[in-house]
Structure 1
Amino acid sequence: MIPIKVAGVSVGTRSPAAVGLQYLQPGALNLTALPPLSLYIHFPWCVRKCPYCDFNSHEARGAFPEKAYLDAVRLDLEQSLPLIWGRKIYTVFIGGGTPSLMSAAGLDRLMSDVRTLLPLDGNAEITMEANPGTFEAEKFRSYRASGINRLSIGIQSFNADHLKALGRIHDDREAMRSVEIAHANFDNFNLDLMYALPGQTLDQARHDLATALAYKPPHLSLYHLTMEPNTVFAKYPPQLPDDDASADMQDMIADVTAVAGFDHYEVSAYAQAGKRARHNLNYWEFGDYLGVGAGAHSKISFPHRVLRQARYKQPQSFIEAANQGNAIQEEHEIPRADMGFEFMLNTLRLTGGFAPNLFGERTGVPINAIDKACAEAEAKGLLYRDHQIIRPTELGQRFLNDLQQMFLA
């Protein structure tokens, strides 16, 4: 077992200045304030594993141990409390897997545990992922009553052939029905769509987007299908549109969403006014998050260090570890030399960039630590910066991986 380490300074009781810099260890950080804190809860089961998916998901062959898992999640939360004493939770995200496989009673119990153990902000955004094929109108009304105030629906496509090629368990009719149920019960929801699918044409991608827009979603996530390692598609790659066709689809998405009044605020995220995904924004702005459940990751800041954790990935291993007193499989502090890259890896996804003072606030490192890389990126036309903003250029957005890699220590 890896012991949970608690910072030497109690969060919320003493300011960083009160500690005295003379007591800091070499390489220690100096965060003047702690970032906002989010909660991520992982639900690891799916009806079937999709061939493109590299998330920590496991096929539920028959019944899955819902009660034992929720018991373990509560234990994981309880064991994590010393790391976040006194800090409020501003957003909650229940992801997977397919959390909408959870029973209405199970979700209600989970939300009750969260409210009992953690100080939730009164205006907290509470999102749950849901997949078509698991939608039941009555169950989703119960989810809403339990406190879920935002859905993220994994549509991927409204085309029956493309859904079959992606290995999805739903068809086009179930996709549309799921959006109708969401629309009837939630005023805030996201639709996930993918493009550059096997055999997909530009007109088919345009039709998928038009179908989604017809439901007036507050938020859209539009992802380019990629071949991730350790997936079925990586082993047996399908025939995908070429780079030119994919670029045409990307240009079409930018044009159509702009006309429809969506703000393209992150690489894959498009929102109506006031409907940005607050939970995801906290990731992209290098905020903190406590992750509980099988395979969940955490990033937790203290005045002089930033801690990363990962839980056991296999559901049964996670349940056993939580019952034994510690569900954490891996834990390390982010080295000072890596802070610039870690920060820029996230914030460069934001099309509008970030204010320069955010760098020091979230990393505890002066911004001159990335000055050389910024200058090189600026010289290549990948980055724009002035005293108010640092952001990727349009070229930098197109070659984001190359831009991010320039900040590796």
Structure 2
Amino acid sequence: MLTPPPLSLYVHIPWCVQKCPYCDFNSHAQKGEIPESQYIDALLEDLQLDIEHYQLAQASTAPRRLHSIFIGGGTPSLISPPGIGRLLQGIEAQIGFEDNIEITMEANPGTIEAERFAQFQLQGVNRISIGVQSFEDEKLQALGRIHGKQEAINAAHLAHKIGLNSFNLDLMHGLPNQSQQQALDDLDKAIELNPYHLSWYQLTIEPNTLFYSKPPTLPDDDDLWDIFEQGHQRLTNAGYVQYEISGYSKPGYQCRHNLNYWHFGDYLGIGCGSHGKLSFADGRIIRTTKIKHPKGYLAAYQNLVKPYRDTEILVEPVDRPFEYFMNRFRLIESCPKAEFIARTGMALAEIESDISTAIEQGYLTQTDTDWQVTQKGKLFFNDLVALFVEDEE
């Protein structure tokens, strides 16, 4: 038996002004006018079909309500504020909201999108994640970003001014030809702007990106480690608490949506290529994906012969420890053993050998109630979670 965890919703908006050379997300450069009205209709129908298919409004206990919503992309702020309002109203009409629901939307700091922050807030968005990436114009151009340093600064000031519950700045380090000092100067500027939350992460080169086919020169591992050590100390001194590998926040301003992911919570995914994960009282855990390309997704609109769902996969018990720990061990806080049992439906005895190996190798410590990832475990995170991959016979 499984006790269903909190339920979140991810909404994917696939369009952006132009594709960045490091981006491996399911995003598509805008060509002509975005079919906003049709796409919102499709999103709401997609959600309706999920609710009906998984009987989410007919649970044996009270119907599940949404813990958080994250509207990502692409560039969701290309959708008009009235469109976002219609989307959120349509979602709430189908599945209820918890009283203190967190509703986040990603946005670029370009002038046009930033000027709409207050309008998005009026439509129900209470948290905005601003994709700054750098405060150096030269680095922004190398990353293919369409905003400049001053626009990024103005966007952060505006987010403060309108009184959002919270806002996040996305910032990268380890950029092409970036020195340690440049990376730390970027971080200092972000700290000066005093966001409630900072996502500070290292640029990685992913397959199927322009940077993968034409790799730029990146800082070496020693420089990257120095950047992280010095940057972590500066964030700590400024009152930010690291709660996830790349997530820092002022106390009380952790991203609830991301926390639900890391705690192996449940989430519906609607929109092109979105992913979902659902737990059921009968012990099943399933993962879903939706049709990836906008043309295919929109072709499914009002055409139930070709539903939005692309795949539905049952997560077998043998795969659950890896999936759980791959998420849960990203968090800095200790991991309760009781949570593993509740979220996976498995007994501790089934992972005892792998846990012992992780402790012997110095990746974990444990008490009677919790596991804690060590500094070595953080450094060799992939090796740690690989211990929980079932060997094929």
TM-score when normalising by structure 2: 0.94
Task: Say how many residue pairs are matched.
Answer: 379
Say if 2:58 is the partner of 1:80. no
Summarize deviations over 1:140-181 as a string: whole Å, max 9, x none.
211001110001111000011111111111111111111122
**Residues 32-47 of structure 1 correspond to what in structure 2 (within 5 A)?**
33-47=3-17
Partner of 2:347: 366
Say whether 1:356 aligns with 2:333. Answer: no
How far apart are the structure 2 equivalents of 1:89 and 1:118? 7
The match for 1:122 is 99
2:285 is paired with a residue of what secondary structure? strand
Match of 1:343 in 2: 324
Q: How does 1:13-32 map to 2 (within 5 A)?
A: 30-31=1-2
Unaligned runs of 5+ in 1: 1-29
Would you say the 8 A contact 1:100–1:134 is kept in 2? no
Of residues 237, 244, 256, the one that matches 2:234 is: 256
Secondary structure in 2 aligned to 1:191? strand
Cα-to-partner distance string for 1:278-328 (whole Å, 9 max, x where unaligned): 000000000000010111101011122011100001012111224222200
What is the CA deviation profile of residues 126-152 of structure 1, one whole-angstrom value per residue up to 9, with x for unaligned ones? 100001225445522110011100011
| Equivalent of residue 252 in structure 2, options 274, 278, 283 | 274
Partners in 1 of 2:157 and 2:302 — Cα distance? 40
Whether the 8 Å CA contact 2:199–2:247 is kept in 1: the answer is yes
Does structure 1 residue 312 correspond to structure 2 residue 291? Answer: yes
What SS is found at the alignment partner of 1:273? coil
SS of residue in 2 equivalent to 1:227: coil
Pick closer, same or farther for the CA change 1:137–1:51 going to 2, 3 Å: closer
Q: For 1:310 and 1:286, how far apart are their aligned partners in 2?
A: 17
The amino acid that maps onto 1:143 is F
Q: Please state if 1:392 is matched with 2:373.
A: yes
How many angstroms apart in 1 are the aligned matches of 2:299 and 2:31? 20
- Match of 2:131, as an amino acid? G
**Pairing 1:59–2:29 present:** yes
The answer on 1:98 being equivalent to 2:71 is no
Separation in 2, partners of 1:301, 1:126: 22
TM-score, with structure 1 as normaliser: 0.91
Determine helix, strand or coil for the equivalent of 1:307.
Answer: strand
Quote how far apart the aligned CAs of 1:348 are.
0.7
Compare 181-190 and 63-72 and name the one that shifted more: 181-190
Residues 1:245 and 2:220 aligned together: no
- The residue aligned with 2:39 is 69
User: Quick one: distance in 2 between partners of 1:388 and 1:283?
Assistant: 22
Quick check: 1:347–1:353 contact (8 Å CA) kept in 2? no
Q: CA deviation at 1:373?
A: 1.2
Q: Distance in 1 between matches of 2:41 and 2:119?
A: 21
CA distance, structure 2, for counterparts of residue 192 and residue 138 of structure 1: 19
AA paired with 2:27? Answer: S
Aligned equivalent of 1:20: none
- How far the C-alpha of 1:62 sits from its partner, in A, is 2.4
Alpha-carbon shift at residue 122 of structure 1 (Å)? 1.1
Partner of 2:275: 297
2:122 aligned partner:
145
Q: Take 2:8 and 2:113, find their aligned partners in 1: how far apart are those partners? A: 28
Q: Whose relative contact order is higher, 1 or 2, with alpha carbons under 8 Å and at least 6 apart?
A: 1
Larger deviation, residues 289-298 vs 320-329: 320-329
Aligned to 1:170: 147
Task: Judge which range, 273-282 or 345-354, deviates more.
Answer: 345-354
Secondary structure, aligned partner of 1:257? helix
Unaligned runs of 5+ in 2: 58-62
Percent pairwise identity:
44
* 1:231 aligns to 2:209 (yes or no): yes
Computed over aligned residues only, the root mean square deviation of the Cα atoms, in angstroms, reads: 1.1
